[in-house]
Structure 1
């Protein structure tokens, strides 16, 4: 992970040497020398990182190199900050001040030269220190270093051990046993999942299943450690498969050369029907070292392989003959069975011997385990030593210290931490900072992946200097690749998935997050200040000049909890994220100015959802390195013209909530901007809420300078200079809102460069030009606002539509028969748009729809759904629509919210408005 910091610094130095040479006269050679030293270190760091958790000297050296790299960034960025500030005000400088300016530049150059000399000297000292303490730097020596024996023993598994986790997996055992016995097409069965999920337990139960034991002629179990020796594994398998009485063959095998062993095992596996378990395989490379020994593509052999792994990326290496099975987390019932077994040494049938109050506390504590079997076993072991209700209550009050951060320091509970932490240690160096960045986000926080990618890029966590060759891919595609790797390695869990199969949201399992926070704190990667925490015994984190990333979980009183003076302690901060308490309301006052004045090296500033009000201070223009700025969900009412100084800005999110924000007409100056989000404006006159944006002095918005712009959302087409907008050839995603004139809509419908188009248009356009949208293939989502004259028809809409929203349209005919024929439609919202008393969904209609909203259809009494309609519906909301009864043909698993509640909702347990009135 430190290697990433060095790359970032080296990349910045290289950029300075090229782009800022006019400011670096006299020190360019020093810059290049420091750059060379930092680049040399990259050759070592990627390998040293693999063993830093086992070597205190390496860990200390890496920490110091990281600090040195950050120092290099700080020195040079602060110098450019001074030069930029001078250039920004160049027009104010008189001839009499020019000489003073020159002398100040000379002094600044002397200072930077001296600082670089000091940094270079530190590099040399660190290098010599490596030799002094005998640290090996050659790749071969590092790679060959023996693994920590305690770590190997922790992971070693055997086929005959008893296990604690045999609860709730009967169906998994039966299914896998059937697959191994009956399915001749799949020669490899993989059990994949996160650490602690019980993969080895499941494999062991299948291995000993009576049907499996009766089907195969022989069995072998091999543990594949992170540092396994191919020879030892192959010989171990062969010796398990060859009978003890055949001593001649067994002796011959042990005398074979390494190159002969794969062929020997290959031959043995073709002689009879054998089952071989390869437990705990970590990487694709592990399989590539072994694959020559296994006839996985030979349909004639009866032998099979059962593999357990936490990295599903291995699946792509196993070929087409693989079957993947991922065990599920335990549900509350099975979780309680397992907890009882460990805490009371009883089964669920012995309820009379257990204090019911303890059971209730156990159920509460189980929520923190989130169904992870290993965590439940550890919790049960803790509770087994607690004999009174008071002791159980104490564990419940401090549950996070037992299953969270305390695991790292208390040997009694270290098992969970060690198992999960090993997944972190195994990550490639380029993925470690990506993973640690997740520590910024609160527990159970659903993270938008697009936002995540752009934060990674803004901070330099993802860069063109990453190990993977970018080729023609963008940095955002590289970030997506890294997230997919973390998902495949079971470090990150997927939330929502988009229509094209891409991850839309993600999150961390609570216990994985604890590992993330502990590692992030240990490596000074992040700092989290939780102003909502109730545990006053734990001292607040201390800000320091080494701190680069700060996440603040805002309490109800920001000023009282986070005074201005605290900001001065972290002048080198690069990332500042706020996660607000929903009750928190704050005026933009002095502390906001302090953010802009004290953190002038910031690259990421996120106020998402923070209920701040008022005008953004003009000091925002001081943040010239800012690459990511989000005001999403705030109540900021004015942006100063100084925002035009943010020449590095790549993402700007201005989606304020329930206010109208006044914008300066300077956004066209943000030449590097790639993603721009305006607040949406509601067209309908029937909505009193004021939301959107206006331009100072009533001008038309200029966007002509944004040649790198790729994403533009909620741009008010009626108030933008269309000529400049149409010249932006890199724009791929456009959400055009408030389109009230056909002549403003035509150019975007005909555009060949826009790949994804979203529109919010006035109903009058559709009324006067019914077929205007019919052939617009890039159109992905459509909102129609205000009355539509004339009936809706299926041929009015393109077949690629994924979302449709009707707002105050008052259409003449039932919209369901029209929209149910759109093959890709996933999301439909009907909002005060139809006055009829009946709607009908036909059999086979809405084949892809997952979400439906019915809101304010005040005349609607009957809703007919034929069997086979709405087959994939997952969730539905009904408000202010007097439907007499919900249709019986709705999918049984759909989640429903309705207010007032509709008869039939009692069949579903998902509506929190339901009070039992229909039972």
Structure 2
């Protein structure tokens, strides 16, 4: 049997090599396409047999039964394999081993940055922008809806972003919000998103007396608390709250990608007239939506690009990287490029995607080959009397992807429409699915699978197939990404054709269903991946849960009732699962739910995440999941965890609930003492007392990202730092939180942190008054300091010399004597975002010319300053100033009143496009 399994492994490698060659031929030949599908299915079947053998064969009591079953499967596989491989000569498919490391050959020089997509390239929108701004800035008593209409990929969202971030628009309106509506909109979520952006008071007493409200620190924790408040409100309560918040403001709210007039009617009552000139901006593909909301005002229609404009846009996308020398470009590439760009029909999305393909082609021969490919596609379309469409360009881009990148790209289609996709989550899913090759040779020493996966994402971004939503704290990497809705539709369609995954959009029969419904597919027993997206509160059981899925590898569920998820896990319909994502909805927000013990039978499971409920109890059988790489419980508030999770030897990412968690068992013991959790790279939300028992901490030999909460003594802090001493050169992010509300101790010496060479993010919560900040490593890009530390001029002098610091958040609740700040020339050279919160002792702040030269966002929240620094006048890069819980006199000095008179300090901030005020206090 062992020899048979080894031969299957050899056969699997051979099939993968054949597939690399065959996939290049399948688009031109239906028979080859069918052959590829059969080989791909057989390869997956071989993988299943091999994994089951490896992970079950050690169980002696089932060996005899398992041997018979496996031998039958192996014989069947061999018969299929012989038949399929005999066809390779017929289809002229060759064995290619050169692609074995395809897609990762450039990893020795890993790139950690991506094209700068913060500012979309805007071609030929000047006249349209002027017309749109004119409509938005008209002052009318009634709130008015303005619409941008056009086909998908025309640039509607790009135009909306341009005006949304326009300097004049930012100064004209009081508050702003941007919400994606999409086809599966939920009115409650739309209203909640708007309220989170425009701001709202947390309770009725605050709302009834804004001038005398008691200040509550607007930290990340409060934002989470506000989201919980909104979750508990009924639809009509959200409507009333939003009307209250907007009725005395001139607001500008963008509803992006709205598909039906019903979507607007379901939330329209929440939009009051507000102050004179309030506007709502739609982007939509449906003309009737625009005309129904405002029949007397014509919608704005972005034009298709001319030939010259199309070529200009293509150049911007292709040549922003130095693939070509300037002297080579005009003569060799212009004619070919212009011929290809004409086939895009002036549609910006098609041109951008074509540019993404050409960006990867560094020679004239490669451009010529692509031109011939495009031409053959056009000719075949003409023969069928069909037009060459944007979908054809997308398909061309997909076919140009490497063997490894294709499944990575298709997987993106399984996420909800218009969602921001976390890079870290995506990478962990790719690895769990087996899309990322293992690192196994000397040339790749020091490179992890996460590094390879990040390179894959970087190439998809370079090719303009994936968009960057947010950059990470370093400013070079990606934090979140997203798919254009047309690209996502292509993903879903392609995935269905290739039996890659199946999508289910579920809604209650009595709920409003958008007219432009998204693609829905019935699932089959042959499905390998299923993604369910349901309206929250769906009561009926998903049909796929009734079926047996012997080949299912991924089950991604969003929005189904808790009982449905729990009951299906008690069946044996999903024995080969590798990925399980449960976004649950309990009967009550505080319901305690228990994951069934049967989950322990999913021995191949690599990724498990649970979210959406208040309290979860994991069974002891969780310790049987010996292949688990990721256990993510951040989306719940409280968890009971069995000590058996210490047996998960392959666990690399362990993320505890946001609120609190506890370890339980017949013998309560340290999670890490005598455990096998030596491969952990990410550990977040762990309580200090669960990490430390009997004065012992297991060395976290591979840790990169660490978050520890509720230290109860300085001795506990010392123990953890000492245990990390040999791993400091790997640590990338660290967060430590003292138990500040019930203790009077402070951080001990943190000198060891100065040895962290790659630490880019550090967050410290607790007493820091006696510490010298010289321990801060120069590699820091993000620094968060909370609670009590008395930021005097000596500490500030150290902070402003940190050469890579981009984000600084200071929240100090200490009752200190008054002090002054001086930001000197060349201080904070890389700082882009500065947040000052609760610094009541800060009475004077001087900013010298040359300080903070690239600052973009400044947040001031309940600070003791009497006036804004004069030196901000010279920080020309500053584009956002957000002020809250400051005295009325402070605010008035920065405003232009209704009579047009400028405040005393307005000259200091005149150049800043966006200035917002909230929670003004008396004084």
> Where does residue 602 of structure 1 map in the other structure?
577
CA distance in 2, matches of 1:567, 1:861: 66
Contact in 1 for aligned 2:503/2:519 (Cα 8 Å)? no
Instruction: Please say if 1:851 is aligned against 2:642.
Output: no
The SS at the match of 2:643 is coil
CA distance in 1, matches of 2:820, 2:152: 46
Q: What is the deviation of 1:623?
A: 1.7
List alignment gaps of at least 5 residues for structure 1. 1-26, 91-100, 144-283, 286-312, 317-323, 342-347, 349-356, 374-381, 681-689
> Where does residue 238 of structure 1 map in the other structure?
none
> Where does residue 248 of structure 2 map in the other structure?
none
Instruction: Please say if 1:563 is aligned against 2:519.
Output: no
The SS at the match of 1:709 is coil
Deviations 1:828-853 (A, max 9, x none): 22335245667535133322223233
Q: What is the deviation of 1:426?
A: 0.9
The SS at the match of 1:557 is strand
Contact in 2 for aligned 1:805/1:829 (Cα 8 Å)? yes
Contact in 2 for aligned 1:370/1:510 (Cα 8 Å)? no
> Where does residue 174 of structure 2 map in the other structure?
none
Contact in 2 for aligned 1:673/1:709 (Cα 8 Å)? yes
The alpha-carbon distance between structure 1 residues 547 and 881, as it changes in their structure 2 partners (threshold 3 A), is farther
The correspondence of residues 742-757 of structure 1 with structure 2, limited to 5 A, is 742-750=714-722, 751-754=725-728, 755-756=730-731
Instruction: Please say if 1:639 is aligned against 2:618.
Output: yes
The alpha-carbon distance between structure 1 residues 31 and 699, as it changes in their structure 2 partners (threshold 3 A), is closer
Contact in 2 for aligned 1:573/1:602 (Cα 8 Å)? yes
List alignment gaps of at least 5 residues for structure 2. 110-114, 136-143, 161-283, 302-346, 354-376, 508-512, 897-909
Q: What is the deviation of 1:28?
A: 4.1
Instruction: Please say if 1:362 is aligned against 2:149.
Output: yes
Q: What is the deviation of 1:875?
A: 3.1
Contact in 2 for aligned 1:404/1:515 (Cα 8 Å)? no
Question: Which of 69, 78, 84 in structure 2 is aligned with 1:126?
Answer: 84
The alpha-carbon distance between structure 1 residues 480 and 537, as it changes in their structure 2 partners (threshold 3 A), is closer
The alpha-carbon distance between structure 1 residues 391 and 693, as it changes in their structure 2 partners (threshold 3 A), is closer
Instruction: Please say if 1:691 is aligned against 2:660.
Output: yes
The alpha-carbon distance between structure 1 residues 826 and 124, as it changes in their structure 2 partners (threshold 3 A), is same
> Where does residue 221 of structure 2 map in the other structure?
none
Question: Which of 439, 449, 452 in structure 1 is aligned with 2:426?
Answer: 452
The alpha-carbon distance between structure 1 residues 891 and 737, as it changes in their structure 2 partners (threshold 3 A), is farther
Q: What is the deviation of 1:336?
A: 6.6
Instruction: Please say if 1:672 is aligned against 2:661.
Output: no
Instruction: Please say if 1:662 is aligned against 2:647.
Output: no
Aligned length, in residue pairs: 656
The SS at the match of 2:631 is strand
Contact in 2 for aligned 1:596/1:623 (Cα 8 Å)? no
CA distance in 2, matches of 1:440, 1:432: 14
CA distance in 1, matches of 2:656, 2:285: 53
Instruction: Please say if 1:869 is aligned against 2:846.
Output: no
Contact in 2 for aligned 1:336/1:363 (Cα 8 Å)? no
CA distance in 2, matches of 1:643, 1:475: 25
The alpha-carbon distance between structure 1 residues 126 and 43, as it changes in their structure 2 partners (threshold 3 A), is same
Q: What is the deviation of 1:603?
A: 1.1
CA distance in 1, matches of 2:130, 2:26: 36
CA distance in 2, matches of 1:392, 1:847: 49
The alpha-carbon distance between structure 1 residues 66 and 395, as it changes in their structure 2 partners (threshold 3 A), is farther
Note the aligned Cα RMSD (angstroms): 5.1
Q: What is the deviation of 1:669?
A: 0.6
CA distance in 1, matches of 2:124, 2:918: 25
CA distance in 1, matches of 2:895, 2:153: 29
Q: What is the deviation of 1:782?
A: 4.0
Question: Which of 548, 552, 567 in structure 2 is aligned with 1:573?
Answer: 552
Question: Which of 510, 521, 524 in structure 2 is aligned with 1:541?
Answer: 521
Q: What is the deviation of 1:809?
A: 1.4
The correspondence of residues 118-517 of structure 1 with structure 2, limited to 5 A, is 118-129=76-87, 134-138=90-94, 329-331=120-122, 334=125, 337=128, 360-362=147-149, 369-371=156-158, 414-464=388-438, 470=444, 473-494=447-468, 495-499=470-474, 501-517=476-492
> Where does residue 164 of structure 1 map in the other structure?
none
The alpha-carbon distance between structure 1 residues 64 and 753, as it changes in their structure 2 partners (threshold 3 A), is same
> Where does residue 530 of structure 1 map in the other structure?
505
Question: Which of 8, 23, 33 in structure 2 is aligned with 1:49?
Answer: 23
> Where does residue 190 of structure 1 map in the other structure?
none
CA distance in 2, matches of 1:628, 1:695: 22
Between Structure 1 and Structure 2, the one with more helix by share is 1
Q: What is the deviation of 1:435?
A: 1.4
The correspondence of residues 730-749 of structure 1 with structure 2, limited to 5 A, is 730-749=702-721
> Where does residue 117 of structure 1 map in the other structure?
75
The alpha-carbon distance between structure 1 residues 520 and 913, as it changes in their structure 2 partners (threshold 3 A), is farther
CA distance in 2, matches of 1:485, 1:841: 43
CA distance in 2, matches of 1:848, 1:512: 35
CA distance in 2, matches of 1:871, 1:83: 63
Q: What is the deviation of 1:885?
A: 5.4
Q: Which deviates more from structure 2 when the two are superposed, residues 526-535 or residues 515-524?
A: 526-535
TM-score after normalising by structure 2:
0.60
CA distance in 2, matches of 1:80, 1:905: 70
The alpha-carbon distance between structure 1 residues 327 and 442, as it changes in their structure 2 partners (threshold 3 A), is closer
CA distance in 1, matches of 2:822, 2:154: 39
> Where does residue 176 of structure 2 map in the other structure?
none
The alpha-carbon distance between structure 1 residues 395 and 66, as it changes in their structure 2 partners (threshold 3 A), is farther
> Where does residue 686 of structure 2 map in the other structure?
715
Q: What is the deviation of 1:72?
A: 3.1
Contact in 2 for aligned 1:679/1:693 (Cα 8 Å)? no
> Where does residue 821 of structure 2 map in the other structure?
840
The SS at the match of 1:706 is coil
